[in-house]
Structure 1
Amino acid sequence: MSKTKNRIVLVTGATRGIGKGTALALSGDDTIVYITGRSESENQTSSLPGTLSTTVAEIKERGGQVIPVKCDHNDDKQIAQLLERVMDEQGQLDILVNCVYQVPDDLSVWKPFWQRPVEQHWNAMINVGLRAHYLACYHAAPHMVKAQSGLMVTVSSPAARAYIHSVIYGLGKAAKDKMMYDIAKELREYNVAAFALWPGIVRTERLQPAIENNQLPAEYEVFKSGMESSEFTGRIIDAVDRSNTAMTYTGASWWNTTLAKKMGIVDIDGQQPESYAKLLGNPINAPEIMIK
């Protein structure tokens, strides 16, 4: 199929949270957004609100074009079929945003790593939170290379450096950063950009009720001024893409707040959230060398 005039975007894990917000922020009358998720009805996969159909409805309310695809990112074949479908239907993929993630129900209950269930936590945060991101990039890369253009973004976290939640949580985030560093090196000569983003604390469906009911843990008080909406990440990606500056940022991890200031982007409340860098550190700078 010949290349369309629309910008083609794929956002994985878009039934709720950052994935949903990113899909909303990237939508527009010049963009077709493919979204994935498992939830076709409320309480199907999570007690938190959010389904494919509700995300579709909100994008359409904004005048956007959206195509929902039910996909279990635990299944390698479904990921491959997802990318095949996008290319069969559109003939191009301009932006891939890896947001899909599974949060174990007991993640917020702190325990040392030897007391946490290995299988459950590893499958959720490594198989889905890391492997599925790698496979989406793997299947998208040949098409972007052929087109000599494209942008891959993986949503990571300052847990790549700072201790947050658990050992497996941090391990997965650090691996995502390294994955994007190295993917970017291999894609640079084809004018395809790849980078990771570090959101701050995001007002998702999981966190918002605690904020509204003043039930946040005491240690969250210091982070309040930097909290972000779920759309902030997508606003940043949209600005980078539309400014044609993606290759400037390829091969690195970026705080959302850092890129937002560079791009002059504000959150949905018109403000730029404060940076957590002094509290949680900055991403590492990967060396330019490639040893093949």
Structure 2
Amino acid sequence: MGICAGRVVVVTGAGRGIGREHALEFARQGARVVVNDLGTGPGGEGGSAGPALAVVEEIRDLGGQAVPSNEDVADWDGAARLIRAAVSAYGRLDVLVNNAGFLRDRMLVSMTEQDWDDVIRVHLKGHAAPLRHAAAYWRERAKAGERVTGRVINTASGAGLLGGVGQGNYSAAKAGIAALTLVAAAELAGYGVTVNAIAPAARTRMTERVFAETMARPASGFDAMDPANVSPLVVWLGSEESAHVTGRVFEVEGGTISVATGWRHGPKIDRGARWDPAEVGQAVTALLTTAPPMEPVYGLRT
């Protein structure tokens, strides 16, 4: 038994890293899990059914229930098949965890069109497509008079909240995911579905090179960069207990959970008429003196 006992969960990108830890913790908490992963490299190259199958076997060894999926979540029809696979295997869907992704880090002046398109596709479309089909499933259940307790947990990033030098494509995709989370939370609330996002910091294949100095494994004691630290929040957000929380983005690192406040309407000056361009500069200067200071972009050297 656990806080997700009997719930059916789809986790994308669950073959390794943070996604694998999500899948294992959901299983420990009693959920039945669809382990989705294409088995690609850190930059999206290649593919293998092995990683998803390995996690399924781990879950079964724990005494849990799991099935593998190798669908491409950024393919519209593939995402639909993924959602159908959960319903076919276990008769329902309760939780969607969008986690799949990879990196193609480049400075903007060096980035190729393919670098841009591939990262936007796997992260942003790879969230939108499964979310769309899961939402349609839950809407159908709600309209049929069933009690729906759907949960979506998206994966944003600190780079999506504050930006990351050398990560224009990734930062744009993750910022889009944060905005998509807000929209989906508003649209799906009437069907009994909550939608939240996390911005995790942990040691994975994607981050080892970026944060090599700060993500070293400790010789002893608490490993703040262990990806398993991220999963308790995700599992709780996937439980029925989290019904009162939606449209939020949580940062999680080690033993720390914080809620990001995001963009808000700030100070304003209303002239009551169209501005003269020559007068705009003075107004902007006045606004910036009263606005909160900006958070620094990750990787910015000061």
Shorter-chain-normalised TM-score: which range? 0.7 to 0.9
The CA distance in 2 between the partners of 1:249 and 1:234, in whole Å, is 17
1:174-193 to structure 2, matched below 5 A, reads 174-193=175-194
Higher-helix-fraction structure? 1
Q: Is the 8 A contact 2:33 2:67 kept in 1?
A: yes
Number of residue pairs the alignment of both structures matches: 249
Give the alignment's Cα RMSD to 1 decimal: 3.4
Partner amino acid for 2:92? Answer: Q
With over 3 angstroms needed to count, the CA separation of the structure-2 counterparts of 1:274 and 1:75, relative to structure 1, is closer
Tell me how far apart the structure 2 counterparts of residues 286 and 250 of structure 1 sit (CA, whole Å).
Answer: 17
Go from structure 1 to structure 2 and tell me whether the alpha carbon gap of 1:226 and 1:186 turns closer, same or farther (over 3 Å shift): farther
Q: For 1:248, what is the secondary structure of its paired residue?
A: coil
What pairs up with 1:1-292 in 2 under 5 angstroms?
A: 6-28=6-28, 30-39=30-39, 45=45, 51-104=51-104, 107=105, 111-123=106-118, 125-145=119-139, 146=141, 147=146, 148-164=148-164, 165-200=166-201, 202-205=202-205, 216-217=212-213, 220=214, 227-242=224-239, 244-256=240-252, 272-273=255-256, 282-284=260-262
Letter in 2 for 1:72: D
The CA distance in 1 between the partners of 2:206 and 2:252, in whole Å, is 20
Where in structure 1 are there 5+ consecutive unaligned residues? 258-266, 288-292
Which has the higher Rg, Structure 1 or Structure 2? 2
What are the ranges of 5 or more consecutive residues in structure 2 without an aligned counterpart? 266-302
Q: CA deviation digits over 1:160-197, x for unaligned, max 9? A: 22222411111011100000101000111222100110
Query: How much does 1:33 deviate?
Result: 0.2
TM-aligned CA deviation for residue 82 of structure 1: 1.4
How far did residue 285 of structure 1 move? 5.7
| Deviation of the 1:28 alpha carbon | 3.1
SS of alignment partner, residue 182 of structure 1: helix
Determine if contact 1:8/1:94 at 8 Å carries over to the other structure: yes
Residue of structure 2 in register with 1:262 after alignment? none
C-alpha change, 1:191 and 1:175, in structure 2 (3 Å) is same
Q: 2:215 and 2:36 mapped to 1: Cα distance? A: 33
Separation in 1, partners of 2:161, 2:86: 34
Whole-Å Cα distance in 1 between the matches of residues 59 and 22 of structure 2?
11
Secondary structure at the aligned position of 1:116 is classed as coil
Kindly state the Cα deviation for residue 20 of structure 1 after the two structures are TM-superposed.
1.1
| Contact 2:203–2:215 (Cα < 8 Å) also in 1 | no
* Per-residue Cα deviation, 1:107-129 (whole angstroms, up to 9, x for no partner): 2xxx4202112213321x21111
Structure 2 CA distance, aligned partners of 1:286 and 1:34? Answer: 37
Cα separation, partners in 2 of 1:47 and 1:31, compared to 1, 3 Å:
closer
Measured after TM superposition, the shift of residue 227 of structure 1 is 3.8
- The sequence identity of aligned pairs, in percent, is 23
- SS of aligned partner of 2:162: coil
Residues 1:74 and 1:151: Cα distance change in structure 2 (over 3 Å): closer
Measure, in 2, the Cα distance between the counterparts of 1:144 and 1:30. 21
SS of residue matched to 1:112: coil
- Distance change in 2, residues 1:92/1:204 (3 Å): same
Q: TM-score when scaled to structure 2?
A: 0.71
* 2:73/2:126 contact within 8 Å kept: yes
